[in-house]
Amino acid sequence: MSTFQTATAVSQPLDPLKRVNYTFGLVLGVDEFEQEQTYFREKDKSHSRILHGYGTDYGLAVSIGNDGTSDVEVRIACGVAVNPQGQEIHVSRTMCARINDWLGKYKDSLQNIFGTPPVSVALCVVLCYRECLTDSVPIPGEPCRTQSDSMAPSHISEAFELKLCLDPDTLPLSPPVDISALPAGLTLRPTQAEEEAIREFRKLLQRVQVSDVASQYVTQQQLDDMVRQLTAPEPLTSIPSSGPTIYIHPADAPEMLRHALLVWVTEVRPALNAVPPMTACDETAEQCVFLARLNFSVGNIWQVLGSITIDESDRPFLVQTRLLQEAALLGLLGGGASVSAASSSVVAAGVFQINGSAAIPVGPTIGGLTATTSGTLPPGGYLLNWSGGKPYVNPLGSPPNLRMYVVKGTPYTSSIASQAIFEVMKFSADGIVVRVLETGKGPPVVEGFMVEVTEIVAGS
């Protein structure tokens, strides 16, 4: 009787947080080598994805050309990208796709979606990570096997797939597109929830201004709630980039901004599912990188009509740390949420001749400066206003607009026996009230005045 038993391999699930503990006498099998690879591959992916993000790293320029025929091509140069799972995608040579061939292949489905041409179409170029089994070699096994059973691929080659996809943002809303009815190979552009949220976070920070003269400041809770809104399905409507200025007091700014970033890290990114969890072999979801949007028109036979424009405004990309270091040293990373010195510029100026009670401009003026006598004014008073590139805004209005005006004026006269003064009386909603008064004992011979208005803006 034999004392030997048939050994059955126990396959353990691969764990990205577990590595092999090599000890003397340990029998190594396929599981141990796969586990070792899984550990280091997942470490690389999580480092890229969690700490840096995803997008184009290098190259992958998109252009339009042709191969000498009437067909038009979209070309993608060689380069490297990181997809939303942290996988590196290497394109080693220029790739191209014939757009007319693609349109002809799916013209029936496209006509059901866009209607009868001529119509406008937007296609997205996306780059996807793929793996291919290669280099088949003989392997030992049981007798009486087929030839296919006696061979197995010995390597896994990292590859890629370039695809043309429909842009869901440009599809007709009525009737809605039935995604499930699309034929194989006709897909939609991948969503970019994290990329859109990052851009909206930048716009939110641009609205932040650190100032010690604001009439009202946001609280820590209000700022944190604005950051939390970035998890909304439509962040473009929840955090408008054209919203009002968000004022933070200088004494509170460092801690408030630090806590806002903490909310982004601990709440917003997890809510966006920005980083896939480190679970073994869980790569079922399609993970591609958006490169560009192609906008063009098609004619009656579903062929490109006219030129194609390339839109890369939604393309995510990663800038190397070395360049960011140089930019930081040069102070180029400033902007919103920073304390800046005030700036000044001349916004209005002119020379006016007094004719009776009216002030008539002599020669050109800066900013379209006017001096009128409308409204209730003191004796010798004039209302200064202008409508140039930087029109007048009452600096004493509510809320304060963090700007002020310095007015310099000089009356001129032809008689040394007559003296005059130029006074600034007040800032009003309609302009700046000034007056020109005679102070000498001689006859009133003041002929006019010269004036210059300088605008001072805090934190610009």
Span 212-216, mean pLDDT? 78
Of 129-143, 233-247, 339-353, minimum mean pLDDT range: 233-247
Of 188-192, 229-233, 424-428, minimum mean pLDDT range: 229-233
Report the run of H or E that residue 260 belongs to, with start and end. helix 253-263
Q: What pLDDT is recorded for position 169?
A: 85
State how far the Cα of 416 lies from the Cα of 27, in Å rounded to an integer: 111
Q: What pLDDT is recorded for position 359?
A: 92
Residue type at position 169: D
Q: What pLDDT is recorded for position 235?
A: 45
Main-chain phi, psi angles of 267, to 5 degrees: -120, -50
Span 409-433, mean pLDDT? 84
pLDDT band for 51, please (50, 70, 90 cuts).
confident
Residue 399 scores a pLDDT above 80: no
Q: Using an 8 Å Cβ cutoff, are 85 and 73 in contact?
A: no
Q: Using an 8 Å Cβ cutoff, are 102 and 164 in contact?
A: yes
pLDDT band for 1, please (50, 70, 90 cuts).
very low
pLDDT higher at 176 or 299: 299
Q: Using an 8 Å Cβ cutoff, are 86 and 45 in contact?
A: yes
State how far the Cα of 80 lies from the Cα of 66, in Å rounded to an integer: 24
Of 151-155, 236-240, 350-354, 412-416, minimum mean pLDDT range: 236-240
Q: What pLDDT is recorded for position 298?
A: 93
Is the Cα torsion angle 21, 22, 25, 30 positive or negative in sign? positive
Q: What pLDDT is recorded for position 460?
A: 45
Q: Using an 8 Å Cβ cutoff, are 432 and 385 in contact?
A: yes
Span 103-128, mean pLDDT? 91
Q: Using an 8 Å Cβ cutoff, are 287 and 316 in contact?
A: no
Q: Is the peptide bond before 168 cis (omega within 30 degrees of 0)?
A: no
Q: What pLDDT is recorded for position 99?
A: 93
Residue 103 scores a pLDDT above 50: yes
pTM exceeds 0.95 for this model: no
Q: What pLDDT is recorded for position 277?
A: 58
Span 146-160, mean pLDDT? 82
Q: What pLDDT is recorded for position 334?
A: 53
Of 290-299, 383-392, 438-447, minimum mean pLDDT range: 438-447
